[in-house]
Every structure is written in C-alpha cells, then in structure tokens.
Chains A and B, each alone.
Chain A
Amino acid sequence: MSTQPPQPTPAAEGAPGVAPHLLYVTGLSFAYPGRPGLLRDLHLTLQPGERVGVIGPNGAGKTTLFMLLCGVLTPDSGMIRLLERPVTPGTFHPEIGMVFQNPDDQLFCLSVWDDVAFGPQNLGLSRAEVAARVEAALTTTGVRHLAERPPQQLSGGEQRMVAIAGVLALHPRLVIYDEPSANLDIRSRRRLIQFLQASPETLLLASHDLELILEVCDRVLLLDAGQIVGDGRPYVVMGDAALMAAHGLERPATLL
C-alpha cells in the first residue's frame, strides 16, 4: 500500500456529496521570526472521529503546528478551518482542546475540582452546569477521587489525567495531545492508552511512543522539516523501514 503523501486536492467545501471536514488546513506556512521557515505549505484534513498520530524527529514542527491549530500562533500564510469556521488567532475556541506535554504548565488552581471547573466557568455556564461538566470529566478520566487535592501534589500520571479532564470539560470536538505518555510509568501509560482508545472525540496525537500510536491511532502523519512526508495506516507508514530511517525514526518493535 502506498505511503506517498496524498496529492493536495482538497475537495471544495460545500460541494455536493462532500462531507464537511472536521479540520481543514491548506497552504499553512509559518516561520519563527528570524529563523528559517518551519512549516511550508502544509495541507491537512481531518474527519470527525479520526485518531491521527503525528510522528517525526524533534524540531519537525509538531508543537508549532498544534499551536497554529489552536490559534495561539498566527500563520504566515494559509487557512485553518474547524467545522467550517475559520480559526482566528487570539480568540477562544473551545472546540479545540490541547493537552500540553508538561501538565505542570496547565494546572494552577488550588484543587483538582477548581482546575477542571476553570474552563466551563469561562464559558459562562451556570453553577449547576459547571458542576455537571466537572463531575463528568473527572469520572471519565478516573480522577474523581482526587477532586479535593491540589494538583501540584499529584503524581505525573494523575496530573496528566487531571489536565485531560480540564480540557474535556469544555466538550471539545478535537483534542490535541502533545507527547501524552512522556514521563509516565507503565501502569499510568496503560491507563492512558485505554482511555484514549475509548475516547469518542477526534484525536490528534504527537508522540515519540510509537507503540502507543500503533495501539490508539488509525492514521499516522509523518512530519519532517515542515512537510507531511507520510500519511496512511499506522502499520503501513511506520512499517516502512526506509521511510522511517530517512526521517530519523525507527520502526516500532511490534512491526519489526
């Protein structure tokens, strides 16, 4: 099966017979000021319910891409549309949630409950609605028993699940995970994989943990030097030894 990047012929939106994409990115280019171009003319579409893994060497631009998708960074050129609406840098888009690589950067409230409630409160929901969302998010992520604890006192795995809960409480359509299994012990990692496998949201995951991607994702993008150089089924893209080696990666043990 071919692992060539798909030819960029994004179907015209609104055209008859074309299902609306969840995420539609075209011509995305970005460079940090004073540095050479990081992302060049990137095209990407995601369908609802897809679980997409993003792999690639360090410096390929994965985190930068995520920051652009969330509207934190402003692209130099190109267009990002989420659910038919353009993503405007600087505005609040609760439909996209992002879980940072280091949960310490996301958790700052006095208790887990407060931290998860932070997002829904910013939506202006009533106290009852906020409470309902928080309860649901805490239960889904399995940290309900930690609700009264300060997040700073939790273990790495617990912090990660609390950070996820805080994002899920906003009811996002697309959840982006940046290195979700980094620094997790085996048990926490297994719990995370099970959780991700059961998630109904559309997922976009960047990870060096290729085994996790194999278990969770149904599509893999190989990003290197700002270009998508591979796009397809995980066992096809990651099983292509030549392709992986050409971009500084190794095939996961399961596919050897």
Chain B
Amino acid sequence: MNLTLDAYAHRDSPLHRWEPRCKLVALLVLLFAFAFVRDLRLLPAMLLVTAGLYAASRLPAALLLSRLRYPGMFLLLFALLVPLLVGSTILLKIGPLALYREGLLFLLLVATRFGAILTVSIVLFGTMPFLTSVRALRALGLPEILADMTLLAYRYLHELGRDLRMMQTAMRLRGFQGRAFSPRNLRMPAALVGSLLVRSYARSERVYQAMILRGYGHESACCASTLVPVTRPDLMALVGTLLVATGFVVGDVLLRTGALV
C-alpha cells in the first residue's frame, strides 16, 4: 500500500526547496484562509492560486487525481443529498424531488473549498519527506512527546502493516473467507486485532529497551539543528503567501458585507 507521499519528496521544484518551517506556516495559514471563504465570487481566485501552487510543485497530475478519488466519494454522498434537501428556491422539479438553488450553490462552495484545501495539503506534505515535516513541526513548538510518538509510530507503521498482511494471508491459506456476517467472522478479526496488539506491545518493550540502552531520556536537545537555515527567498515566499491568504479573508469579508461590488 502506498502509505506516504515520500515517493515524490525528493524531486526538485521551488516548493521542494522552500524551507520546511516557512512552508508549513505559509501553507497552513493559506488552508485556513480557504476554509474562511464563503463568497462564491472568490472561488475562481482560489482555484487559480491552488493550480499555480500545484504547478510550481511539479508534482504529477496523476498523483492529485489518485489522492482525490477516495475522499471524493464522501463528497459524492454530500453532493447527492444537499441539493435535494437544502434551500428554498426550486430550480428543477423531478416528481416529488426538488433541486434547490441554495443547496447547489452550497455544494459548489464546499466542493471547491474541499478540492483546494486537499490540493494544497498534498503540495505541503508531498514536497518534503515525512521525517522533515515532523522535525519542522517540532521546531515550531510541537511538544516532544507528540513528536517522539509520531516518529516511532511512523517508523513501525510499515512493519505492523506487513505483520497484519502476513497474518491475513495465513488465515486465507487456511481457508478463511470472512464474507458473511456471522459470530465467527466477527471473532476471527477480533482475534486478529488482539494478536496484532499483543505483538505490538511485545515489540514496543523491545524497542523501549533498545532506546534506553542507547540513552533515550538522557538527551533533551532535539533535531531542530538539522534543519536547513532560513534564507531571504524563503521568507519572501512566506510573506507573499501570508499576504495572499489575508487577501482572501479580507476580500471575503468585504464582498459579503457589500463594501465591494
């Protein structure tokens, strides 16, 4: 299973070269600015900025499409229900069902915000290795326990995934189908999860011993020093993005209160 975006993290592009902490702050603020937008007239601008960022990241379009597919299905459910339920102005009437204008517009807003935010988050985390992201978060103030837990969990994710697949293969090789709904088909996955947990505990005990034998808990300085220094272009890009984000927020307020056209 393709667990992370790390496959594309070592390419070269302006976004790949952007210093991690600046990139994190800038793009997270932009994400929230996008979430703030409620006026539909800003949607084209949002799409433009998003497209520009994605193009600058030189990530393949196929990646974006494959990543939007699964969450897009949830959106599909939303898309089917909301225009039929929400609103007061009827656009179309098919038998007992009515398509409402407000619902449709709301759907448009949600879908665009959703797509834009998702794309920017892919740009954010797809242009640096996961390890770098966590180190940058740590440097920005993430509590040490959270950073440690994140790194360790990430480190063992693949192994545990492999353990689970091996156990499931072994089950299938002994004939387990598990497709019907029955007490047995509930007990077996429960035993599988239980076994996975027991093995994880046992492994964590070994990991803990290995860690303290090499001094875990004695050092308090973290890996912030391994991050690249911040340069002027990094800061300028940060300020530029913050300005764009502010533009969206202010623009949205002004448009909605009627101060602008």
Question: Does a CB–CB distance below 8 Å link A and B in the complex?
Answer: yes
Instruction: Please report A residues at the B interface, Cβ cutoff 8 Å.
Output: 70, 72, 92, 94, 97-98, 100, 102, 104-110, 118-119, 121-123, 152, 166-167, 170
Query: Which 7 A-B residue pairings sit nearest by Cβ, starting from the closest?
Result: A122-B175, A108-B195, A119-B174, A105-B166, A106-B170, A92-B175, A108-B191
B175 touches A94 (CB 8 A): yes
Range class of the B interface residue count: 20 to 34
- CB <8 Å contact, A105 and B163: yes
Q: Nearest chain B CB to A183's CB is how many angstroms away?
A: 15
Are B177 and A122 in contact, with the CB atoms below 8 A? yes
Known: A72-B169, A100-B170. Contact between A108 and B176, CB under 8 A? no
Contact assessment for A118 and B174 in the assembled complex, using a CB-CB cutoff below 8 Å: yes
Name the interface residues of B150-185: CB closer than 8 Å to any CB of A: 163, 166-167, 169-177, 184
A108-B192, A122-B177, A152-B195 known; A100 vs B172 contact (CB < 8 Å):
no
When distances are taken between beta carbons in the complex, the residues of chain B under 8 Å from A167 are 174
Contacts of B176 in A (CB 8 A): 118, 122
Query: A141–B167 Cα gap in the complex (Å)?
Result: 22
Report B's interface with A, CB cutoff 8 A: 163, 166-167, 169-177, 184, 188, 191-192, 194-195, 198-199
B contact patch SS: helix
Q: Which residues of A contact B198 (CB under 8 A)?
A: 152
User: Given A100-B166, A105-B166, A106-B167, A166 and B191 touching (CB < 8 A)?
Assistant: no
A170 lies within 8 A of B174 (CB) = yes
Instruction: Taking A72-B169, A105-B163, A118-B171 as given, write out 9 further A-B residue pairs in contact, using a Cβ cutoff of 8 Å, ordered by the A residue number.
Output: A94-B175, A97-B173, A100-B166, A104-B199, A107-B195, A109-B191, A118-B188, A122-B176, A152-B198
Complex Cα–Cα for A106 and B170 (A): 6
Query: Are B175 and A108 interface neighbours, CB within 8 A?
Result: no
7 chain-A/chain-B pairs, Cβ below 8 angstroms: A92-B172, A94-B175, A108-B167, A108-B171, A108-B195, A119-B174, A122-B176
On whether the beta carbons of A110 and B191 are closer than 8 Å, the reply is yes
Write the chain A residue with the least CB distance to B170.
A106
Looking across the interface, which residue of chain A has its beta carbon closest to that of B174? A119
Shortest distance in angstroms between A80's beta carbon and chain B's nearest beta carbon? 15
Residues of chain B within 8 A of A170, CB atoms compared: 174-175
CA distance A72 to B166 in the complex (A): 11
Q: Which residues of B contact A94 (CB under 8 A)?
A: 175
> How far, in angstroms, from A20 to B199 measured CA to CA in the complex?
44
Q: Which residue of chain A has the shortest Cβ distance to B198 in the bound complex? A: A152
Q: By the criterion CB–CB under 8 Å, are B174 and A72 in contact?
A: no
**Taking CB as reference atom, which chain B residue is nearest A72?**
B169
Closest to B175 in A: A122
Determine which of B169, B175, B194, B195 lies in contact with A119 in the assembled complex, contact meaning CB atoms within 8 Å. Answer: B175
Contact status B192-A72, CB under 8 Å: no
